[in-house]
Amino acid sequence: MAIRKKLYTATATSVGGRGVGTTKLADGSMDLKLAHPKEMGGNGQGANPEQLFALSYAACFLGAMKFANGKQKKPLAIAQESAVTAHVSFGERKDKKGFGIEVQLDVSLPGLSKDQAKALAKKGHVVCPYSNAIKKNVKVTTKIV
């Protein structure tokens, strides 16, 4: 989905690729060694793109729910310990023409009823740029925990 006005641009460079390389942010705030996970034949001695996506999606989705909540006429009380855990799975696509990912988001909103949490998660998907970027391309399951 195109954006109307750029508010921020993050710039990262990867050298060597997902299994034997590095990836770093242009501003120097993060510089990571990359490695395949042990489950994929690697040594697990570095980060991988699925982990980085999980970190990003979890943080962004929690922020999106808070943003959506703040736009309501009567915002709900969102507990400080509210959390989103993103499980990003990598595997061969069903058509066997490459690889894909699936995501499960575990949403914990203490103090809210299950119905309130579900409604807020639904609104979070509407505004979250990650949810919008992968809509119709990636299976995303949202679980209220």
Confidence at residue 111, expressed as pLDDT on a 0 to 100 scale = 97
What's the pTM? 0.94
Confidence at residue 2, expressed as pLDDT on a 0 to 100 scale = 82
Q: Please, what's the b/e burial string for 38-76 (b: 16 or more CB within 10 A of its CB; e: otherwise)?
A: eeeebeeebbbebebbbeebbebbbebbeebbeeeeeeb
Contact assessment for residue 14 and residue 34, using Cβ atoms and an 8 Å cutoff: yes
Query: Which H or E run contains 129?
Result: helix 129-134
Q: Order of strands across the sheet with 12-15?
A: 12-15, 22-25, 31-33
Confidence at residue 106, expressed as pLDDT on a 0 to 100 scale = 98
Q: What is the mean pLDDT of each run of 10 residues along the chain (145 residues)?
A: 91 93 96 95 94 98 98 97 98 95 98 98 98 96 98
d(CA 137, CA 99): 12
Q: Order of strands across the sheet with 99-108?
A: 83-92, 99-108, 139-144
From the number of C-beta atoms within 10 Å of its C-beta (0-12, 13-18, 19+), residue 93 rates as exposed
